[in-house]
Amino acid sequence: MNYSWLAKMAWRDSRKNRNRLFLFMSSIILGIAALVAINSFGNNMQSEIEGEAKGLLGADLEVESNEPFSEDILQFFDSLGAEQSREVNFASMVLFPESGGTRLVQVRALEGRFPYYGSIETEPAGAGQSFREEQQAIVDRTLLLQFNATPGDSIKVGEVTFGIRAAVTKVPGQANITSSVAPPVFIPMRYLEESGLLQKGSRLEHVLYLKFEDGTDLATLFEETIEPRLEEAELRYDTVEERKEEIGDTYEDLTGFLNLVAFVALLLGCIGVASSVHIYVREKLVSVAILRCLGGKGLQGLSIYLIQITAIGFIGSVLGATLGAVVQYFLPQLFAGFLPVEVSVEISWPAILQGILTGVLISVLFALLPLLSIRRVSPLSALRRSYENKERDPLRYLIFGGIILFVALFAWLQLEEIDEALVFTGGIVLAFLILAGIAQLMIWLVRRYFPAGWSYIWRQSLSNLYRPNNQTLVLVITIGLGTALISTLFFVQGLLLQKIELTDSEGQPNMVVFDIQTEQVEEVAALTKEFGLPLIQEVPVVTMRLHGINGRSAEAIKDDTTSDIRNWVLRREYRVTYRDSLISSEEIVEGKWRGRVDSPQDSIFISLERDLAEDMKVGLGDKVTFNVQGAIMDTYVGSIREVDWERVQTNFLVLFPAGVLEQAPKFHVLITRVDSAATSARYQQALVNKFPNASVIDLKLILKTVDEIVGKVSFVIRFMAFFSIITGIVVLIGSVIISKYQRIQESVLLRTLGASRNQILQINALEYFFLGSLASLTGVLMAVTGSWALAEFYFDTPFSPPVWPVLISYLAITALTMLVGLSNSRSVLNRPPLEILRNEA
């Protein structure tokens, strides 16, 4: 084939249609922009994580344990010449004496020079190390803001009052958002004993940070010496490499997900391309037929237009990539609070290259669907205009296959899981099919039940929905999917919050006081009553570990590689309660509940939660042995329960009957309900003052935190979904302009026949009203169905679609469609018919 001639023809042919070709291009710009922005951002973050790897952990190695480290281990690390820092952290209440405010925080008692890499950043700066020299604490900035406290004020942790040295703005390896759940308060380790909080026993986490001398071959040392020793001591640990991978994976998942959202916008744009090219090709059929008459081959005709589309796809992708590189600059603000590292914005060439390649490939694939028909244009069409080759080209199916394969491959690249990629691809195909199906159904319904009795203007605008070359299908898909995406996000956010709010409804408990010592139980109860608050539940909690199952020790099971008993079951610390009856959130599904053991000789029949029993591979009658703080105790599975974990009350995996654990060391949990914020504050203050070891979980605070996090997450996702909506609108503008050529003939004819400007305006307005309504209704309908399914099957909560958001989405999208449609058909209305015919012919 003569390629230079083909290129020349593509160029010549494009001269008179360049504006329209640029329209196709505009459909993909936003999708590519979103893709490139997210990818660039992801790449920058990965390289940042790579560069700051050691700063993410703050040390070469981190070792964790629920118990204090044994002398053996400490000496072992001494012998390796490692510098050590220690930390003990736990959840506890703090009190701000100046304001009287109290809150549950994460107390981190530090000793040593940790962090060795990176730093705890503070305001004023430099306090990350120096606070350890005096009786001072550094406190999460948001927490300070919340209680209106500033450096120089004081904070009471347990029995000790510290001066607040500075506000903490950044902790190595931690995203700011994690601190809204449990804001960190750092104190020097040497005041820990004095605080009286060490009695929290097993609820403390001990951490050892190690730094080895520069030049140490860490990989070898770790693999040959350290790892075996830590495994033997059953200690958890994290190396720089592991931490880097964990954080990297998390954010790769995040950017992968957002990439798919961006990809959806691109796909929508491509549907726009396919539909525009479809109309474009129809207009080119005669030219192609002439070319064939003159001896041009089928492939030559196809190639001319393929070259045009590829070039346009390329230019569109380059423009999109450029826009994406700009959008990228706003992403760090968008993700503020989510990132463990500060991401500097740089041009990421791999992301740009990938974006351009994706854009060209996918737009060409989609454009090929309508382009294929060029191959089979009969030269006879030049002689007879009405001649149409009606055969379906089998190559179409190959192209469809190609598109689906491309989508699946792209998803796989982003998600790195073939199953998830297939689900994504299937979901996209299904959504497209549903939207296309609804559009076709509507078209069919309009034709079938056409309101013949309506006035001409209504009939004309309705029939425009199914006229030849109509854009109904493509607009319903693009605008509908965009609307569906945004509305679903909105509904799901509402669902999540509604679910939490439900638990806060009238009479339900909303405050949990835990870590109460046995001797404090009565006093705490009395204090609660003093405030006029109900004692909804008071529950003793005993901690224990699993010792064995059916006579085999937990150790042996752990070492047995053939055992399918899940590891978490063997390793975890069980918090267990005992009582003689069941509570409302529990239901026996197997066996029988025996509430009391009367004599020490009797067998103990416990009740297990269903999932635990499954993972433990035990059934009724099996023997489960526990180590209750030193005492070995055999029990038998007497019943299996289903537990509703979602209510604010104490629920347990393992439930003992009364009469067994009464004498074991334990702590207590008290559940109550506080209605006013003021009472809640005073109650917590009194509690913390009197019982510094007790902690309070306030549902209102959790509600606020979840709202904040969900709000932030959904803002990010909505930002991405916005690209889809805008793409839908660009496609709308494109198809309105393209179909304008067709409408002009018709409008001019109408005007020639005596239609007034107003009548034509009404026909157009009504047509776009129908189109917009159809698209947005379909989208909202999909969102409502999807959200209902999520509510019913996933969140297990009743769902009633919010009326106002549904109405607003519908009205806004419909109005927008009408606006775009009408503003583009203005030229038809404002000029004399003959002038238009001359200009547009």
Partner 1 sequence: MSDILEVKGLSKIYRSGERSLTVLDHINFKVQAGETCSIIGPSGSGKTTLLGLCAGLDRSSSGSVILNGQSLEQLNEDERAEVRNQHVGFIFQSFNLMPTLTALENVMVPLELRGEKDAAKRAMTLLEKVGLADRRNHYPTQLSGGEQQRVSIARAFSNRPKILFADEPTGNLDQETGAHIEELIFELNREGGTTLVLVTHDQELAEKTGRILQIKGGKLVYDSLTDTAIQTR
Binding site for partner 1 (CB under 8 A): 2, 5, 8-9, 12-17, 286-287, 290-300, 378-380, 382-384, 841
What 3-state class would DSSP assign to 449?
Answer: coil
Report helix, strand or coil for 151: strand
Alpha-carbon separation of residue 128 from 110, 143, 166, 208 (angstroms) = 11, 17, 8, 18
User: In this structure, is the dihedral angle defined by the CA atoms of residues 211, 216, 222 and 225, taken in order, positive or negative?
Assistant: negative
In angstroms, what is the minimal distance from the CB of 5 to partner 1?
Answer: 5
Distance CA 695, CA 655 (A): 23
To partner 1, the closest distance from the beta carbon of 737 in angstroms equals 18
Q: Which is nearer to partner 1, 304 or 628 (CB)?
A: 304
Compare residues 3 and 645 and give the one whose CB is closer to partner 1.
3
Q: Are strands 552-553 and 573-579 parallel, antiparallel or unpaired?
A: unpaired
Helices (H), 753-802: 757-789
SS3 566: coil
44 Cβ partners below 8 Å, 6+ apart?
Answer: 328, 343, 344, 345, 346, 348
Comparing CB distances to partner 1, the nearer of 277 and 604 is 277
* DSSP annotation of 197: G
Decide whether 279 or 475 has the Cβ nearer to partner 1. 279
Question: C-beta of 282: minimal distance to partner 1 in Å?
Answer: 14
Smallest separation, CB 389 to partner 1 (Å): 11
Pairing of strands 61-65, 205-211: antiparallel
- Host H or E run for residue 229: helix 227-232
Least separation in angstroms between CB 825 and partner 1: 23
Residue closer to partner 1 by CB (options 385, 572) is 385
CB-nearer residue toward partner 1: 448 or 838: 838
Give the CA distances from residue 302 to residues 24, 270, 285, 469, in Å, rounded to whole numbers and listed in that order: 18, 19, 11, 21
- Count of CB atoms situated within 10 Å of the CB of 555: 12
Using DSSP, state whether 531 is helix, strand or coil: coil
- Say how far apart CA 94 and CA 104 lie, in whole Å: 6
Closer to partner 1 at the Cβ: 14 or 129?
14
Looking at the Cβ atoms of 380 and 502, the one nearer to partner 1 is: 380
* Nearest approach, Cβ of residue 392 and partner 1 (Å): 17
Q: What angle is formed at CA 552 by the lines to CA 549 and CA 558, rounded to 5 degrees?
A: 90
Q: What b/e sequence results for 565-601 when a residue is b if at least 16 CB atoms lie within 10 Å of its CB, and e otherwise?
A: beeebbeeebbbbbeeeeeebbeeebbebbeebeeee
In the bound complex, what is the minimum distance in angstroms from residue 364's beta carbon to partner 1?
Answer: 21
- For partner 1, the closer CB: 360 or 738: 738
| β-bridge mates for residue 513, sequence order | 670, 696
Those residues whose C-beta lies under 8 Å from the C-beta of residue 406, and which sit 6 or more positions away, are: 361, 362, 365
Closest CA to 483 of 794, 797, 732: 732
Residue with Cβ nearer partner 1 (290 or 633): 290
Nearer to partner 1, 299 or 789 (CB): 299
CB of 35 to partner 1, least distance (A): 33
Q: Which is nearer to partner 1, 394 or 551 (CB)?
A: 394
What's the DSSP call for residue 60? S
- In the complex, the smallest distance separating the C-beta of residue 297 from partner 1, rounded to whole angstroms, is 4
The token pair at 283 is 């207009």
Q: Are 134 and 728 in contact (CB under 8 A)?
A: no
User: Which one, 286 or 357, has the nearer CB to partner 1?
Assistant: 286
What minimum distance in Å lies between the beta carbon of 440 and partner 1?
25
Closest CA to 55 of 341, 367, 288, 338: 341
Q: Which is nearest to 684 in space by CA: 538, 540, 510, 503?
A: 510
| Nearer of residues 17 and 99 to partner 1, judged by Cβ | 17
Angle at 244 between CA 243 and CA 250, to 5 degrees: 90
Q: How far is the CB of 736 from partner 1 (least distance, A)?
A: 23
Least CB distance to partner 1 at residue 716 (A): 46
Q: How far is the CB of 290 from partner 1 (least distance, A)?
A: 5
Minimal distance in Å, beta carbon 272 to partner 1? Answer: 23
Minimum distance of partner 1 from residue 808's CB (angstroms):
46
CB of 832 to partner 1, least distance (A): 19
Which two tokens mark 764?
A: 């157009």
Closest CB to partner 1 among 304 and 352?
304
Q: What is the DSSP string of 593-626?
A: ---B--STTSPPEEEEEHHHHHHHT--TT-EEEE
Rounded Cα–Cα distance for residues 37 and 31 (Å): 10
What does residue 262 show for φ and ψ, rounded to 5 degrees?
-65, -40
Minimum CB distance to partner 1 smaller for 678 or for 841 = 841
The DSSP secondary-structure symbol of 190 reads G
